[in-house]
Amino acid sequence: MTLDKDALAPEMPRFDSYFDAKSQDVHPFERIKNSFDESEIRDGEEDAYERQRDAELHKRELMGRLIGQTLTPRQFEMLSGMDSSGTIKNQRYLDNRGKQYLTNQDQIRLFEEHIEKMRRQKIKSGEWQEETSMQEVERYLAGVEAEVMDPKERKKYYRDLEKAVALYEEMDNPESLLEKEYHFDETCGVSLDDHITSLKSQFPNGRIETRRDRDGFAVIKVSHKQEFKYNLDRIVNYDFDVEKVKEAETNEILLKHVLPKDLQLSELANLPKEELMEKLNTQIGQKYDLTYESKLEVEELMRERVNGKFRDDKEAFEMAFVDLHNNLTFDTSKPLKSGTLLDAFMTDGSEEAALHQRVSEDLFNDRDTYRYELANQLHKKINKHWRHTKRETKDFIKPKTSETNVYANQQRSIDNSIESMKTRKDEMEAQEDFDKEAYTRLK
């Protein structure tokens, strides 16, 4: 039995038909016929347009009923788009766990099953007797009912809860402090003075208070503002010119203590061209790479310079760098390639691009912290403005647009459209060669 290739897939392109078409100077695609008529596409587009037009007209009618206050809840759902939302549909008959709501009969049935299960477990464990188990169940239910709050107590409980939540929201603002108070055991091997010194280094901008209770035990209270890795105020108030000046000052301090004295920029500025080129071609740089510990110390110092305690203290940063530079350790197993001062200035930008890539990757890996901290700070600022800022007269001015104005504008637009159509109709009727088909389309 032989297979008929044309019977299996008659529309499949084949090599023989391709070469036949090429020999006749006919493109192979011209012989492929569509299995549908183009009129089907046009009919589908017209049907979709009609459905869309009917939906728009229906919404316009519902809008008029909404303004006239004759809109039913079902029509409002259609107008607001709630009817097409599967999520809102589920909320009508599903709970927050995605399960169906239980009727009162279902609740009673499940509660009876739970009580019966508890009774059987009590009997099986020997805590209750079979003969007196129903009396025990009644006493258990009476105890549960006694613990349930009556309507008056429940109302007072929720009123107190609302006050507590409102008090917490008022405290949640940028000026609120984080406070911690605890007893300190002076017999644990660390003196109170040493512990206070450690706290001051940990919270340089915080407030530390100490006292003793009636029994003579030390009590420490630490108060400080909440610190963020990504400070919103610093991001918003970022000044490019100021940061460029700080960057130039930092580079000047680094070059001042890293370069030899005869290669200082102040010395090179007054040299003639020949001597300047000779100095620039002088071999500089360290012979071995820094150890891992020294690299961490340098990175920590530069971090303090950018966002830490040395951010606005150039002199303190210089002293800290000199002290660190004199105590750096090198790894003799990792020699470095020597270079000249001219090579240091003549870069192709690859190091800067690598640095930008590293910063982008670090920010991407820390994206959860970035989002949380910015959202938290923004929420605190909004809460401060909302709850702790005195309202001004402009905060209570009514909006410029009201429902009456919207309705009047809509009515005016409809009247203008009617007048325009009447004018066009009169113009068309005044023509000698009146086109009845064009007039029908216009209507």
301-326 pLDDT tens trace = 888 888 777 888 888 888 888 888 88
Rounded CA gap, 363 and 365, in Å?
5
Q: What is the mean pLDDT of residues 255-283?
A: 67
- Distances from the Cα of 76 to the Cα of 58, 71, 72, 88, angstroms: 12, 6, 6, 13
Q: Domain segments of the chain: what residues?
A: 104-148, 177-225, 232-347, 404-442
Cβ-contact 300, 345 below 8 angstroms: no
Coil vs helix vs strand at 36: coil
Lowest mean pLDDT among 19-28, 94-103, 207-216, 305-314: 94-103
- Percentage of the residues of the chain whose pLDDT score is greater than 70: 68
Computed over its alpha carbons, how large is the radius of gyration of the chain? 41
Summarised one tens digit per residue, pLDDT across range 393-421 is 776 666 566 677 777 888 888 888 888 88
Residue 310: how many CB atoms within 10 A of its CB?
21
Q: Per residue in 104-127, pLDDT tens?
A: 667 777 788 888 889 988 998 889
Question: Cα(96)–Cα(90) distance, rounded to whole angstroms?
Answer: 10
Please give the distance of CA 305 from its chain centroid, rounded to a whole number.
29
Q: Which DSSP letter does residue 100 get?
A: B
Enter the tokens of residue 208.
């530390």
Nearest to 229 by CA among 363, 384, 379: 363
Query: What integer pLDDT is reported at residue 31 of this predicted model?
Result: 52
* Mean of pLDDT values over 416-437: 77
Pull the structure tokens for residue 115. 């009580």
